[in-house]
Amino acid sequence: MNVPPVSSRFSRLAFLVAPALLAPSFTALQAQSGPQPPPPLMMFYREEVKPGHAAGHAVTESAWSRVLAKGKSTDHYLGMTSLTGPSEAWFIMGYGSYADWEAKQNEADKNPVFKGEIDAIAQKDGDHLSSTRSFLGTLRKDLSFGPPVEIGKMRYFRIRIFRVKQGMGRVFEEGVKTALAAYEKSHYPASFAFYEVAAGTWSPTYVALRPMKSLGDLDGMDAADKAFQEALGEEGRKGMQKTFTDTVNGVENQLFAFNPKLSYPAPSVVASDPAFWTPKPEK
């Protein structure tokens, strides 16, 4: 896939417009730290970075945030880089509603102050990229698990993308709900938000987001997984395995690290850990 033209790349300004990740995009929440629930809508923006261009890409992304900060923009986003799989940078933005998303797009379109600088940055950024793509997800509270997290204290994301066979979405969801009951029964020590893709890629597709404070969170999960399997029981295990075999075409499972240099975090995120989210500029 070719890198989109600058005019198309500029439209990303309309995408990068959320208060805090895993928080509704309401101004009243922007200055509050602490656990907050996932937003009703989530935009995922993926950039495939050319080999050897990670450092240069980070420089241009930092320029994006500086321009927004200079203009005192309230359009916030978090960026992260892949630890596994292709060399990618992901940007994730939350919205309170479709109307909120539209309003943010219109806000960007009516803000000519940034356009010249953004155009120049977009041109430089495109030099570091092999491709870009985006997709929009809607929160599925009924498929999510665990209490809200304080996203500003998180450092990593595990992202699982389930590509489901045509006509099998509801059957797949029943399998997820079977798993949720076992997670609840076993007191599984994790939280994850489940999104159903509304536009931008294969449908039906579901995305599970699990934030982590440390990669060490993955250590010692054997006991939790064993308790989960016991809660399922033999019949539950067989049934869930059959459901997923019958409904899922494939699963993408990747690990990412949040990167403050690629982010323009909301005040609520910065307040959770100012030292991490406001790194000193490189000399």
Q: Are residues 165 and 132 in the same domain?
A: no
| Both structure tokens of 199 | 């536009």
Indicate whether 278 belongs to any domain.
no
pLDDT at res. 114: 65
Q: Are residues 16 and 128 in the same domain?
A: yes
Q: Are residues 43 and 154 in the same domain?
A: no
Q: Which residues make Cβ contacts (< 8 Å) with residue 21, sequence separation at least 6?
A: 77, 78, 92, 93, 94, 151, 269
Indicate whether 236 belongs to any domain.
yes
What gap in Å lies between CA 21 and CA 77, rounded to an integer? 7
8 Å CB contact between 148 and 35:
yes
Q: What is the pLDDT of residues 215-251, one digit of tens each?
A: 999 997 889 999 999 999 999 999 999 999 999 999 9
Q: What is the pLDDT of residues 158-199, one digit of tens each?
A: 999 999 999 999 999 999 999 999 999 999 999 999 999 999
Q: Are residues 124 and 197 in the same domain?
A: no
| Both structure tokens of 172 | 């797949």
Indicate whether 74 belongs to any domain.
yes
Residue-number span of the structural domain to which 24 is assigned = 6-138+257-273
What gap in Å lies between CA 132 and CA 203, rounded to an integer? 19
Buried b (16+ CB within 10 A) or exposed e, 257-271: ebbbbbbbbbbbbbb
| Both structure tokens of 207 | 């995305």
Q: Are residues 59 and 144 in the same domain?
A: no
Q: Are residues 214 and 265 in the same domain?
A: no
8 Å CB contact between 14 and 101:
no
Report the CATH number at residue 175: 3.30.70.100
Q: Are residues 261 and 133 in the same domain?
A: yes
Q: What is the pLDDT of residues 12-57, one digit of tens each?
A: 443 333 333 333 333 334 456 689 899 999 999 988 777 776 777 6
Q: Which residues make Cβ contacts (< 8 Å) with residue 55, sequence separation at least 6?
A: none
Q: Are residues 77 and 171 in the same domain?
A: no
What gap in Å lies between CA 145 and CA 188, rounded to an integer? 9
Q: Which residues make Cβ contacts (< 8 Å) with residue 34, sequence separation at least 6?
A: 150, 268, 272
pLDDT at res. 50: 79
Q: What is the pLDDT of residues 241-270, one digit of tens each?
A: 999 999 999 999 999 999 998 898 889 999
